[in-house]
Amino acid sequence: MEVEHKAYARVGLLGNPSDVYGGRAVSFAVAGLWATVRLRPSDELLVQPHPRHDLVAFPSLTALVDRLEGGGYYGGVRLLLAICKVFHSHCRRNGIALDDKNFTLSYDTNIPRQAGLSGSSAIVCAALSCLLDFYNVRDKIRVEVRPNLILDAEKELGIVAGLQDRVAQVYGGLVYMDFSQEHMDKLGHGIYTPLDVNLLPPLYLIYAENPSDSGKVHSSVRQRWFDGDQFIISSMKEVAQQAYDGHNALLQKNYTDLARLMNRNFDLRRQMFGDDALGALNIKMVEVARSVGAASKFTGSGGAVVALCPDGDAQAELLKKVCQEAGFVVELIQVAPSVLTEEELASLSDHH
Ligand SMILES: *[C@@H]1O[C@H](CO)[C@@H](O)[C@H](O)[C@H]1NC(C)=O
Ligand SMILES: *[C@@H]1O[C@H](CO)[C@@H](O)[C@H](O)[C@H]1NC(C)=O
């Protein structure tokens, strides 16, 4: 039986980056941007390189360099390998028996690279979903635990990240997440509450076609957090509070308040991380959106921006115009629906 699963790019609407610091977040999955992974039974076990993203043959040295500068060193093969390993060890540790059978994994993706849209974890998430079906263990690995497995696979590869993106991708739709230390300690995961996607106002995704300065300077925020830096700790608390307040604003469809919270979220990130770490181009995207009164912030840690036009359609037209003039891609976001099965959705409430 062949299986195929999609996982979507995610937009962190509020609360990032506090998810990595015991905070809260509101995130959603974007319909048009996805990674897809296909698993088919085969005689041998094979992880198939992508014909473009994992290319190792080139027509010339210049072509090789162009490819690396545009797409980086890593394709998706390592991600598939890592989730296979993590899935296997999780099953072994938890006494989940796996049939002895081989498969071929392949993937594709249209999520822009380095755009803060969580393209890597989308590949991992889709692959995990395929493995769950192929080995018929969907009911043995709870939905709440799956983001941890995805994160573990990425940690294997040295990727530093939090759970937020993986939760948005495992659930699909719109999710409010609480990563408070007490939940993490007691449950081993956060508390994740799916929300009705119809609560969201029209939102816009802005990104640069050719990101040149995506803010690669290493920031000291993590170290300062561990060192007990009071400014970082209180700012992260406030960012987490914004996610809580924002989820209430969404429930009341109070988009004026949502806009205020989004702007404040970005401003706090900027104060904590500093402009060098954020990157000039990323800051420009936020500022261009704000020049017409739109609320704007990063979707993740930079590369793409999410914008809200609290004054409606005329403002949205202006937003499109100024973004295009500045050379940015701007699109109305379609939210991806939940990707869980009915049984899985029903099982969620049982565990809270
Ligand atoms: C899986 O593939 C290997 C060859 O790569 C083969 O030796 C092994 O028997 C296969 N396992 C099964 C269960 O078919
Ligand atoms: C929206 O939220 C703000 C701030 O909390 C509040 O002052 C305002 O009255 C709310 N608007 C509506 C329509 O509820």
Tens place of pLDDT per residue across the chain (352 aa): 899 999 999 999 999 899 889 999 999 999 999 999 999 999 999 999 998 888 888 899 998 988 888 777 778 999 999 999 999 999 999 999 999 999 999 999 998 877 778 889 999 999 999 999 999 999 999 999 999 999 999 999 988 788 999 999 999 999 999 999 999 999 999 999 999 999 999 999 999 877 655 445 567 898 999 999 999 999 999 999 999 999 999 999 999 999 999 999 999 999 999 998 898 999 999 999 999 999 999 998 888 999 999 999 999 999 999 999 999 999 999 999 888 888 888 888 655 4
Q: Is 100 in the pocket of ligand 1 (CB under 6 A)?
A: yes
Tell me the CA–centroid distance for residue 44 and ligand 1, in Å.
5
Looking at residue 294, the DSSP 8-state letter turns out to be -
Count Cβ atoms within 10 A of the Cβ of residue 240 and give its class: 0-12 exposed, 13-18 middle, 19 or more buried.
buried
Count Cβ atoms within 10 A of the Cβ of residue 169 and give its class: 0-12 exposed, 13-18 middle, 19 or more buried.
buried
Ligand nearest to the CA of 42: 1
Q: Whose CA is nearest to atom 1 of ligand 1?
A: 44
Q: Whose CA is nearest to atom 8 of ligand 1?
A: 44
Interior CA angle at 72 toward 66 and 73, to 5°?
A: 110
Q: Pick from 173, 46, 65, 59: which is nearest to 104 by CA?
A: 46
The amino acid at residue 115 is A
Q: Which atom of ligand 2 is nearest to the CA of 254?
A: 1
Helix/strand/coil percentages in the chain, nearest 5? 45, 20, 35
* Residues paired with residue 105 on neighbouring β-strands, in sequence order: 39, 47
For this structure, is 229 an active site residue?
no
The answer to whether 35 touches 108, Cβ cutoff 8 Å, is yes
Indicate the helix (H) or strand (E) that contains 256.
helix 255-273
Assign domain 3-198+337-351 to its CATH architecture: 2-Layer Sandwich (3.30)
Report pTM: 0.92
Tell me the CA–centroid distance for residue 55 and ligand 1, in Å.
27
Ligand 2 site residues (CB inside 6 A) read 252, 254, 256-257
Q: Which atom of ligand 1 is nearest to the CA of 100?
A: 13
Output the six-digit token pair for 323: 């973004």
Tell me the CA–centroid distance for residue 103 and ligand 1, in Å.
9
Output the six-digit token pair for 42: 């085969």
Look at residue 197 in the predicted model and tell me its pLDDT.
94
Task: Check 19, 152, 165, 245 and give the catalytic one.
Answer: 165
How far does CA 240 lie from the centroid of its chain?
A: 17
Assign domain 199-332 to its CATH architecture: 2-Layer Sandwich (3.30)
Interior CA angle at 278 toward 240 and 330, to 5°?
A: 90
Look at residue 217 in the predicted model and tell me its pLDDT.
57
Look at residue 61 in the predicted model and tell me its pLDDT.
95
How far CA 174 is from CA of 9, 98, 121, 179, 195, in Å, comes to: 12, 32, 17, 16, 5
Full DSSP string of 120-136 = HHHHHHHHHHHHHHHTT
Look at residue 161 in the predicted model and tell me its pLDDT.
83
The CA distance from 163 to 146, in Å, is: 10
User: Domain extents for the chain?
Assistant: 3-198+337-351, 199-332
Cβ neighbors of 145 (< 8 A, separation 6 or more) are: 188, 189
Q: Whose CA is nearest to atom 7 of ligand 2?
A: 257
Full DSSP string of 78-121 = HHHHHHHHHHHHHHHHTT-------EEEEEEE-SPTTSSS-HHH
The answer to whether 285 touches 329, Cβ cutoff 8 Å, is no
Torsion of CA 164, 170, 176, 181, to 10 degrees: -50
